[in-house]
Amino acid sequence: MAIEEAHAIRRINPLSLFDVANSEKRPLYVAAPMVRYSKLPFRLLVRDYGVDITYTPMILAHEFIRHPVARASDFSTSPSEGVVIAQFASNDPTEFGRAAEMISPWVNGVDLNCGCPQSWASKEGLGCSLMASREKVAAMVKEAKRRLSGTGKTVSVKIRVHKDVEETKRFVACVEEAGVDFITVHGRTRNQRSSTPPDYDAIKVVRDSTKLPMLANGDVYSLADAHEITRRTGADGVMAARGLLVNPTLFAGHERTPREAVATFMDYASASGLRIELVIHHLSEMMAGFSTRKERMKLTQCNDMVDLTDLLEDHWQIVPIAAASA
């Protein structure tokens, strides 16, 4: 891809993709921010199979703005990457705004995480703990919008629902007034585990209370799920996490990960230098549809990408595209 084309992609405003999806009479398809797993190779793969927007893993804003090593570790991109949003964890307007400004040339927007339920995040005043501080979140949105003014980059927030959905409505109204461009609503409270079914009725209540573009998040495991969830909630699109880990091709309508997608992922992972343990985790998830757990345990015995490539070819007849064309 030419540098000019890559620059053109970075000039795409994510809000325009909501309009494109609507014109095609379908939900916007979005890949969620997943700690460790939303790295560049996986983002490139899901883009090949119908995802409109990808998110980076959650990045700690205070580390990102202070340490070049942290920036290199937390974020990488490629001229061939499509529309991508960087998600930050922060509880300080200046910190969030500065991180947004620093990363803006390489992304299409930034997102504030107000939904991470992990205890360490709550202790730091990050993630879900921000759901009790809507004025602070509004201040953070305003600062990021100020710093990104004129760039065409979006500022969004990802939230969970409160036990009292009326409080969620007040939260959304506050950040809407602050100028947030769109929101993602995860249909669980901060204390509910992933085994608890998402509350799609609560998401609909929020949807009906705001004019903001909105994504629904929670239990998207198939293309049929995506359409049913948007029908039930009225959301403009869906964000998938665990469903995409198991089947990165779900938005393209595949019921399970095809072998060619595994081969493509190996190419992307090899080119990026993704850590071997992360590659093995992705393969273990993606290959569940056509292999047994015992078979996949062989993956954990591989020491490097050469071992993995040999195992995939010998046991499953999967050959990375680059290797096959060499």
Residues 198-251 pLDDT 10s: 999 999 999 999 999 999 999 999 999 999 999 999 999 999 999 999 999 999
pLDDT of residue 309: 94
Residue 116 annotated to the active site: yes
Amino acid at 240: A
pLDDT of residue 326: 43
What is the SS3 string spanning 57-77?
CCEEHHHHHHCHHHHHHHCCC
Name the DSSP letter for residue 144: H
pLDDT of residue 73: 78
Q: Indicate whether 126 pLDDT > 90.
A: no
Q: What is the C-alpha R_g of the chain? A: 19
pLDDT of residue 5: 63
C-beta neighbour count of 36 within 10 angstroms: 13
Question: How many residues does the structure list for the chain?
Answer: 326
pLDDT of residue 8: 87
Q: Are 161 and 188 in contact (CB under 8 A)?
A: yes
Residues 44-103 pLDDT 10s: 999 999 999 999 999 999 999 987 777 777 898 988 899 999 999 999 999 999 999 999
Residues 141-171 pLDDT 10s: 999 999 999 999 999 999 999 999 999 999 9
- Would the pTM of this model clear 0.75, i.e. be above it? yes
At residue 148, what are phi and psi to the nearest 5 degrees? -100, 5
Number of Cα atoms under 13 Å in the Cβ half of residue 170: 11
Of 114, 116, 128, 302, catalytic:
116
- Residue 314 tokens read as 């010998």
Mean pLDDT within 293-317: 94
